[in-house]
Amino acid sequence: MPLPAVHDLSDAMLQARLQQILDQKTKPVGSLGRLESLAHAIGQVLGSTTPQLQQPQMVVFAADHGLTAKGVSAYPSDVTWQMVENFLAGGAAVSVLARQHGLGLTVVDCGVRHDFSPRPGLQIRKVAHGTADASEGPAMTAEQCEQALADGRAVVQGLPGNALLLGEMGIGNTSAASMLMARLTGLDIADCTGAGTGLDAEAVQRKIAVLRQVLARHAKAQAPLEVLAAVGGFEIAAMVGAVLQAASERRVVVVDGFITTAAVLVASRLAPAVLQRCVFSHRSGERGHALLLAQLKAEPLLDLGLRLGEGSGAALAWPLLVSACAVLNDMASFESAGVSQRGVDVAENA
């Protein structure tokens, strides 16, 4: 399956110009800290010294996981479809935050074990009614994985704007993310596995044991797409496709928590330059997330102890991206404001 080309964005002239503009703002050099590096990064993604974030799109990818039959989640699979209904009704955290910040919200049924009635804001791209139980065989066939990737790409192609915010919903998907992380980074599964939806310590140990057995069963799966098909989920595969497509179109990709970061991990192993387009919104409370961010050399914007998913952290971080662009575009320079720079007027008047 051909994947979209994701080119290296390195542009020394643009980088230097962005830095020069930021350094000339009416402030001590570097005094806006991470906001300056964020403005610099957005300018590079959009290829402009005056970047404009337009029609941001929050997309929540949803699917069920056959592995939940092995007791890896504290919640039943029915919660997946019930939460999709909650998203569409406007009652979920991500729904509230998307409204607050003016984000377009689309929910994508990639493989939920439920049939939804068509309605605005919902895209039905169901590959199957949930993945297979990965403890008994591959979670999905190569063809199903390819379809989910293509669906994710198509979703992005059909949306306006130049910023994609990633969200997800799927009972059992922290297990899939943990296994993807362990296999693709070489870290032990125990270091990659946490409480997910709220397992107690004993249940977490049982979860780790199940995931270790699943990884052993699929030991031959080593290439990124092989691993994705063996232990991943339809919503994660669709997110991989979405990230690749958004990156190829030079959209800013705002990454949420552990599961969306696992999707970015897979995408980055297919096309390393996708990381140049990514803004990592927060460090979640899920055990493996900090380690995964470190593997990607990613510095998240927030650390609020979130572990909800849905795209909630990405939505909360969004105003920082808007502020970064405002500083770059609207803040006066020393010259335009007639403000003396450190040492310049002193030397001239000496």
Cβ-contact 263, 176 below 8 angstroms: no
The values of phi and psi at residue 260, to 5°, are -65, -35
Say how far apart CA 277 and CA 76 lie, in whole Å: 35
Is 299 noted as a catalytic residue in this protein? no
Q: Give the C-alpha separation, 347 to 350, whole Å.
A: 5
Distance CA 193, CA 178 (A): 6
Burial class for 82, CB neighbours closer than 10 Å (0-12, 13-18, 19+): middle
Give me the catalytic one of 36, 168, 235, 310.
Answer: 310
Q: What is the spatial distance between Cα 234 and Cα 259, in angstroms, rounded to a whole number?
A: 12
Picking from 30, 38, 25, the residue whose alpha carbon sits closest to that of residue 322 is 38
Phi, psi angles (nearest 5°) of residue 205: -65, -40
Q: How far is CA 341 from CA 39, 80, 165, 335, 338, in A?
A: 22, 56, 38, 9, 9
CA 93 to centroid of chain Cα atoms: 17
Could you tell me which of 265, 340, 338 has the C-alpha nearest to residue 297?
Answer: 265
Q: Side chain identity at 64, as an amino acid letter?
A: D
The residues that are catalytic are 310
